[in-house]
């Protein structure tokens, strides 16, 4: 089954998403187009990276992923293709792919060059460049036909947590807020476990609040807290399915979730103090 995924910051009101899908189907009507998200905040590359990074591996190897975020065409900015982890990723050379694969070395990177012959005809990157490249790859075409090896794609720095030995503390930051208002940090369980060795306890600190336990999954709340009806609105820290420290409100949403009740924003610090 041929699969092309599509992620963008276009929203679902305008013509852009159906235009891209229509272009793909006009080139190969048998392609299965799967939407990852079109509700990315405009130009938000970190949000894009989190969503794509945590969804692409669920698709079959060989899937082509179109990432149309901050992708409007200019002659000065290249379009690039990553081969990574058995998948293809098409995006503007704006650094988003370096955020997705901050810890995975791509198998190959290409500058997409097939459009160089008709630059004046490129009005919309996603239909005029990304869609034809995606279909070319799904038809079994080689990357070398539509591009050339590229050594210097734009690199952005993924925010990393740090461990302060003097303060016995992990210092991280909020990097994503999901649809339920859950607040996701950049502190991974792997990084936590590595630095927790030798300590007896810890406290998760943010703003003027603190939590003394991190759960492994949402269902652990029920076992730990007892009657479900008594802990609606209760807060907790967990390692989510992406393996990242998350602050959550039980059955919270975008109006009354952790983001709202804690008043946290992307970029704010979160701490784990060891004792």
- pTM to 2 decimals? 0.89
Largest CA distance in the chain: 67
Write out pLDDT tens, residues 95-153: 999 999 998 999 999 999 976 554 557 789 999 999 999 999 999 999 999 999 999 99
Residue 18 belongs to what H/E stretch?
helix 16-27
Give residue limits of the domains in the chain. Answer: 3-149, 162-274
* CATH architecture classification, 162-274: Beta Barrel (2.40)
Q: pLDDT band at residue 63, thresholds of 50, 70 and 90?
A: very high
Q: Which CATH architecture has domain 3-149?
A: 3-Layer(aba) Sandwich (3.40)
Q: What is the mean pLDDT of residues 34-62?
A: 96
CA 26-90-94 angle, 5° bins:
130
Residues 106 and 98: their CA atoms lie apart, in Å, by 9
Q: Answer whether 272's CB lies under 8 Å from 173's CB.
A: no
Distance, in Å, from the CA atom of 178 to the CA atom of 254, rounded to the nearest integer, reads 8
The token duo for 16 is 């852009």
Tell me the per-residue pLDDT of 165-216, one tens digit each, with 9 for 90 and over.
999 999 999 999 998 889 999 999 999 999 999 999 999 999 888 999 998 8
pLDDT score, position 118: 46
């Amino acid at each position: 089954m041929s699969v092309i995924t599509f992620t963008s910051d276009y929203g679902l009101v305008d013509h852009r998403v159906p235009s891209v899908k229509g272009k793909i189907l006009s080139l190969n009507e048998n392609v299965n187009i799967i939407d990852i998200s079109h509700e990315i905040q405009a130009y938000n590359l970190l949000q894009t990276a989190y969503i794509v990074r945590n969804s692409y591996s669920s698709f079959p190897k060989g899937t082509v992923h179109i990432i149309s975020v901050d992708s409007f065409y200019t002659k000065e900015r290249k379009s690039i293709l990553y081969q990574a982890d058995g998948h293809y990723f098409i995006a503007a050379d704006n650094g988003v792919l370096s955020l997705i694969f901050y810890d995975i070395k791509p198998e190959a990177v290409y500058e997409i060059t097939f459009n160089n012959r008709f630059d004046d005809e490129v009005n919309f990157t996603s239909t005029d460049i990304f869609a034809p490249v995606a279909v070319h790859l799904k038809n079994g075409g080689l990357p070398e036909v539509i591009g050339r090896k590229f050594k210097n794609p734009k690199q952005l720095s993924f925010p990393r947590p740090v461990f302060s030995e003097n303060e016995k503390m992990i210092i991280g930051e909020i990097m994503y807020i999901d649809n339920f208002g859950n607040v996701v940090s950049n502190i991974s369980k792997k990084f936590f476990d590595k630095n927790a060795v030798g300590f007896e306890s810890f406290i998760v600190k943010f703003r003027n609040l603190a939590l003394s336990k991190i759960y492994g999954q949402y269902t652990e709340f029920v076992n730990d807290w007892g009657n479900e009806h008594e802990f609606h609105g209760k807060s907790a820290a967990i390692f989510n399915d992406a393996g990242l420290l998350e602050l959550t409100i039980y059955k919270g949403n975008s109006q009354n979730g952790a983001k709202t009740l804690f008043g946290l924003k992307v970029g704010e610090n979160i701490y784990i103090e060891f004792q």
